[in-house]
Structure 1
Amino acid sequence: MASYIPVPRDLTKVKSKVAFNLTKRQLICFVIAAAIGVPTFFLLKKIGNSTFAAMGMMIVMMPLFFFAMYEKNGQPLEVFLHHFIQATFIRPKVRPYQTDNYYAALMRQEKAVKEVEKIVSESEKKRHRNAPGLVEGRPEKSTSNHQRRSEK
């Protein structure tokens, strides 16, 4: 009989294995867990018996195993925990649904444009009133030196 090897259709879910059929992430987490767990075992063995030391070592190493192996919906544990903490503790519990009505946005924009036009027109009126050499909002006719010479 022929044996079949399943080939995944979605190649984005395939993870490359580095050593011992573990991914790089898993290998790093297991090495860190071993670096923390083995000294913990020997320290706890001095205090109590080997069963107590083995349980303490497992308790210390278990979070790193979870970080290495746990994945939900393609997200590793730290991303899942980040989203959980954001939703549970940081963001508000009640988030009312709010929309920005397009018609209301156009009305606000039109109101802002009218307000700006009003401010500009008032500043132009003040400038014309306070400017020297203006007669009723129009500049006075100035005579140049050339015109004065021709009049003489």
Structure 2
Amino acid sequence: MAASYISVPRDLTKVKSKILFNLTKRQLICFSVAALIGVPSFFLIKSVAEVNVAVMGMMVIMMPIFFFAMYEKNGRPLEVYLGHFIEAIFIRPKKRPYKTDNYYAALMRLAKTEQEVEEIVRASMEQG
């Protein structure tokens, strides 16, 4: 009898639990939303245009939702990438000045602060 092998992924954190029809919960939700939006749009478009135009319109409406369901890169879904894109383009300032804080400057500030503290302590000792 021949042995059959099943491939097991090395990183089990990347394994998604399947719920129904070998789809994840996220995919089921997105496909349901796409169907709830796409099927009525098909009938609305079909009432004013031909069937092939209605089918194409339904596909155009449903494809972005399918993309949200299926696209994932580096373990992050599409909305995370869109959030980063919107933040980088529209929210964050365009010009970000380059500021350095080198070790020598930090040591100089520390020495200056310690000198000021010594002067304050010395002045209070002379008065008291």
- TM-score using structure 1 length: 0.69
1:127-146 matches, within 5 Å, as none
Counterpart CA distance in 2 for 1:115 and 1:76 is 53
Gaps of 5+ in 1: 125-136, 139-152
Deviation of 1:107 (Å): 1.5
Distance (whole Å) between structure 1 residues aligned to residue 30 and residue 74 of structure 2: 20
Quick one: distance in 2 between partners of 1:120 and 1:48? Answer: 88
C-alpha separation in 2, matches of 1:108 and 1:36: 62
Describe the shift of the 1:44–1:107 C-alpha distance in structure 2 as closer, same or farther (beyond 3 A).
same
Q: Tell me how far apart the structure 1 counterparts of residues 7 and 98 of structure 2 sit (CA, whole Å).
A: 45
1:92, distance to aligned residue in structure 2 (A): 5.0
In the other structure, the counterpart of 1:28 is 29
| 2:51 corresponding residue in structure 1 | 50
Whole-angstrom distance in 1 between the partners of 2:49 and 2:87: 40
Q: Which stretch of structure 1 is more off in the superposition, 91-100 or 74-83?
A: 91-100
Match of 1:148 in 2: none
Looking at structure 1, the residues matched to 66 and 14 of structure 2 have their Cα atoms a distance apart, in angstroms, of 20
Distance 1:68 1:41 in 2: 21
1:67 corresponds to which residue?
Answer: 68
The structure-2 alpha-carbon separation of the partners of 1:112 and 1:45, relative to structure 1 and needing over 3 Å to count, comes to: same
Q: Read off the aligned partner of 1:69 and give its amino acid letter.
A: M
Q: Which amino acid aligns with 1:23?
A: T
Letter in 2 for 1:12: T
In structure 2, the partner of 1:18 is: 19
Q: Distance in 1 between matches of 2:71 and 2:39?
A: 22
Q: Which residue number in structure 1 is paired with residue 77 of structure 2? A: 76
Letter matched to residue 77 of structure 1? L
Larger Rg: 1
TM-score by length of structure 2 reads: 0.80
**Per-residue deviation at 1:2?**
2.9
Question: Identity across aligned pairs (percent)?
Answer: 70
Cα 1:87–1:2, aligned 2, differ >3 Å: closer, same or farther?
same
Structure 2 distance, partners of 1:7, 1:84, is: 34
Structure 2 letter corresponding to 1:42: F
Q: 1:50 deviation in Å? A: 1.0
Looking at structure 2, the residues matched to 14 and 61 of structure 1 have their Cα atoms a distance apart, in angstroms, of 26
Which residue of structure 2 lines up, in the alignment, with residue 40 of structure 1? 41
- Tell me the secondary structure at the aligned position of residue 10 of structure 2: coil
**Shift of residue 115 of structure 1?**
4.5
